[in-house]
Amino acid sequence: MTHSRRDALKYLGAGAATYTCAPALATSIARDYTPPLRYFGLKDVRLGDGPFLAAQKLDEKYLLELEPDRMLANFRSNAGLPPRAPVYGGWESVEPWIWIRCHGHTAGHYLTAAACMFETTGDTRFAERVDYMVAELAGCQAKTGGWLTAFPDGVAPLVDSLAGKEFAGVPWYTTHKVLAGLRDAHLHRGSKAALDVWVKFSDWIDKACAGVPEERFQKMLDREHGGMNEVLADLYAITRETRYAHLAQRFSHQSLLRPLSDGLDKLDGLHSNTQIPKVIGFSRIAETMGSIGGTYDEAARFFWKTVAEQRSFATGGHGDVEHFFPKNEFVKHLPSGKTMETCCTHNMMRLTRSLYARDPQVRYFDYFEKALFNGILAAQDPETGMNTYFQSTRPGYVRLYHTPFDSFWCCTGSGIENHARYGESIYAHTDDAL
């Protein structure tokens, strides 16, 4: 964090004590809004021969090699059910005391990837996997009463974080991945069962968050929490239940939202992939809750402008060792082996899609195209289908790819999604034009 305490207080509503009630809801919450531009569904686009189709084929192969029971093992253990297979290695089974603690995130990414791949290819093997995993998660949920976790200490990290106690790892980051997987199983595979599990988990979260004072809630959001606000805004858009809209706004980190909506770039030194998903959520809140032109929308647009146009390399990637560096320090960071995390590019492209739909300016997709070729297509090993974490700007530097069964980095997760959704942004349409 590079904020001074004074800045932090200012953006928390100053005096912190004054910031004890829920943030004001975006106005006209139930307004129906259709962006001027819509994308075609994955099922409407088929890739022709070329490097994108080749990347998709490699991803298909890897997705079918992964075993759902191994990704679900700890969800079952935590629900008091015997695992059906041993859990995978890497980040799926790091020791409890290690900081990187997002056990279970792969199941969420996998649901998204398999659901998208089903829609992209029509191959029913992906639909069967989605259905199986959703049924297994529903079985776990029947035992837990709503929550779904694969952490070594069960639901404790979520409960402790809300209680204002010390908590381990990034439990809300991981929860976002699971919820996003359920959302995509619903949207891209058409799974009604996935919507039910998504709703039940969100209802559990809603209840668990209910009595938490706002100041403590915002402090909890200082820790990386993915796009919790995004996936709750999405649920609101589908169900029109206002409690999800309220919760999406509670999960919006005010110490990022406030300066961005004032047009202030305070990003130096911040962890990049902690911020981008929050901003995708701001953009979704603007879109789904009728606050176009308001705080959330302004914050999302300003963030995109500063990151895409002032903080990115010529390739469309950004950051060094996962963090934003001062804008006048590009030269210093060029020899680094750890520039341009793939998750960051993946998430900047998701933000770009969202903004472009509301405001179809060519600069959005000029950026998208650069990032797609340099940061996404090139992130995959064209021989094995494995993906990179960083894409170093250092000339001649090696590319390090994940292993099939013992890595499961964040970038493995976003990596398996990337090559299943090449069709989603090629074409878009207005009411009467392509």
For Zn ion, which is the closer residue by CB, 297 or 341? 341
For Zn ion, which is the closer residue by CB, 158 or 343? 343
For Zn ion, which is the closer residue by CB, 376 or 411? 411
For Zn ion, which is the closer residue by CB, 55 or 416? 416
Q: Are 350 and 335 in contact (CB under 8 A)?
A: no
Q: How far is the CB of 414 from Zn ion (least distance, A)?
A: 6
Q: How far is the CB of 409 from Zn ion (least distance, A)?
A: 6
Q: What is the rounded CA–CA span in Å between residue 336 and residue 316?
A: 16
For Zn ion, which is the closer residue by CB, 260 or 343? 343
Q: How far is the CB of 122 from Zn ion (least distance, A)?
A: 29
For Zn ion, which is the closer residue by CB, 126 or 389? 389
Q: How far is the CB of 318 from Zn ion (least distance, A)?
A: 13
Q: What is the DSSP string of 302-354?
A: HHHHHHHHHSB-TTS-B-BTTB---GGGHHHHTT-SSBSBHHHHHHHHHHHHH
Closest residue to bound Zn ion by CB: 343
Torsion sign (Cα): 158, 348, 23, 181: negative
For Zn ion, which is the closer residue by CB, 202 or 275? 275
Strand partners, 223: none
Q: How is residue 347 written in tokens?
A: 């998430």
For Zn ion, which is the closer residue by CB, 175 or 387? 387
Q: How is residue 78 written in tokens?
A: 């935590």
Length of the chain: 434
For Zn ion, which is the closer residue by CB, 224 or 297? 224
Tally helices (H) and strands (E) across the chain.
18, 2
For Zn ion, which is the closer residue by CB, 146 or 281? 281
Q: What is the rounded CA–CA span in Å between residue 284 and residue 290?
A: 10
Q: How far is the CB of 399 from Zn ion (least distance, A)?
A: 15
Q: How far is the CB of 379 from Zn ion (least distance, A)?
A: 10
Q: Write out the residues near Zn ion by the rule CB under 5 A.
A: 341, 343, 410-411
Q: How far is the CB of 7 from Zn ion (least distance, A)?
A: 28
Q: How far is the CB of 233 from Zn ion (least distance, A)?
A: 23
Q: What is the rounded CA–CA span in Å between residue 280 and residue 166?
A: 27
Phi, psi values for residue 135, rounded to 5°? -65, -40
Helix axes 156-163, 171-189, angle to 10 degrees: 120
Q: How far is the CB of 176 from Zn ion (least distance, A)?
A: 14
Q: What is the rounded CA–CA span in Å between residue 17 and residue 309?
A: 37
Phi, psi values for residue 2, rounded to 5°? -105, -5
Q: What is the rounded CA–CA span in Å between residue 71 and residue 148?
A: 13
CB contact burial 341-378 (16+ within 10 A = b; e otherwise): bbbbbbbbbbbbbbbbbbeeeeebbebbebbbebbbbb
Q: What is the rounded CA–CA span in Å between residue 245 and residue 95?
A: 36
Q: Are 345 and 339 in contact (CB under 8 A)?
A: no
Q: How far is the CB of 298 from Zn ion (least distance, A)?
A: 28
